[in-house]
Amino acid sequence: MVIHMKKTFVCVCTGIKYGPEYVNTLYNMVTRHSTDVEFNLITDNKKDVNSNIKQIIIKPLYKTWWNKVHMFRDDIGLEGKVVFMDLDVVIINNIDHLWEFEGDAFVIIQDFNRCRIKDFKTRNSSVMKFNAGQEVNMWNKFYDNHEKVMSSYQGDQNYVTAERPHSCVWPREWIMSYKWEIGMIKGDPSYSRNDVIGRRELPEDCCVAVFHGKPNPAEIKLDPLITENYK
């Protein structure tokens, strides 16, 4: 008998930067591009989101992106293999294979400065995969010394980089920076010639476009790659 490990998805929405519409859009994309996945939301208060989303209310709260570290806890109900994504990504193809990549290993993105520095060491935490509870020591270390950790690192991904310096990384073609690697379409809001590295590159295997800085996906009006998928 083949036993399939539970496929869990989680995102984080705390504070006021992103409203519940971002959570609902991400839920729509995940359910459209994957099968048999439980969708979880880590949040600071109950949100007006799709009723199929399991909301996990967490305390204590930290500044900005540091609340993402809560996902590594072993006491908030996450089970099985967990895929995390930021709220400002766009899923453009099936993502079922993300749960299977590198077995039980912790997986994260090589930061997108890789387009300038091939062996760039810092990680980008926009898309991660881990076994629920397996990385709890990252949470415990943060919880016990959160002021020191937050003052020592620029953000959660720098902390994760330091704690998991030899982590597995996603294949570059699977998860790419929208403005630095895929390339924006001239004329969209926040477009800059400096955002585009060469001409558009979109490998067939690319399943997630990551947004960082400006613009965010809701601001893209002309590019069908985004407008036809971000909904």
Indicate whether 198 pLDDT > 90.
Answer: no
Is 19 inside a domain boundary?
A: yes
* pLDDT at position 184: 83
Per-residue model confidence as pLDDT tens digits over 92-102: 999 999 999 99
Is 190 inside a domain boundary?
A: no
Per-residue model confidence as pLDDT tens digits over 10-61: 999 999 889 999 999 999 999 999 999 999 999 999 999 999 999 999 999 9
Indicate whether 1 pLDDT > 50.
Answer: no
Is 1 inside a domain boundary?
A: no
Could you give the CA distance from residue 8 to residue 20 in angstroms, rounded to a whole number?
20
Mean pLDDT of the region 83-105: 97
Mean pLDDT of the region 126-147: 97
Per-residue model confidence as pLDDT tens digits over 206-225: 999 999 988 899 999 989 99
Is 45 inside a domain boundary?
A: yes
Is 50 inside a domain boundary?
A: yes
User: Which structural domain, as residue segments, surrounds residue 29?
Assistant: 7-171
Distance of CA 92 to the CA centre of its chain: 14
Domains: count for the chain: 1
Is 121 inside a domain boundary?
A: yes
Is 231 inside a domain boundary?
A: no
Mean pLDDT of the region 192-214: 81
* pLDDT at position 183: 86
> What's the whole-number average pLDDT of the chain?
93
Mean pLDDT of the region 200-205: 89
Per-residue model confidence as pLDDT tens digits over 173-187: 999 999 899 988 877
User: Which CATH number does the domain housing residue 104 bear?
Assistant: 3.90.550.10
CA dihedral 33, 155, 158, 68 (to 10 degrees): -40
Is 91 inside a domain boundary?
A: yes
For residue 29, give the nearest of 157, 191, 208 by alpha carbon. 208
Mean pLDDT of the region 59-80: 96
Could you give the CA distance from residue 21 to residue 94 in angstroms, rounded to a whole number?
22
Could you give the CA distance from residue 230 to residue 91 in angstroms, rounded to a whole number?
7
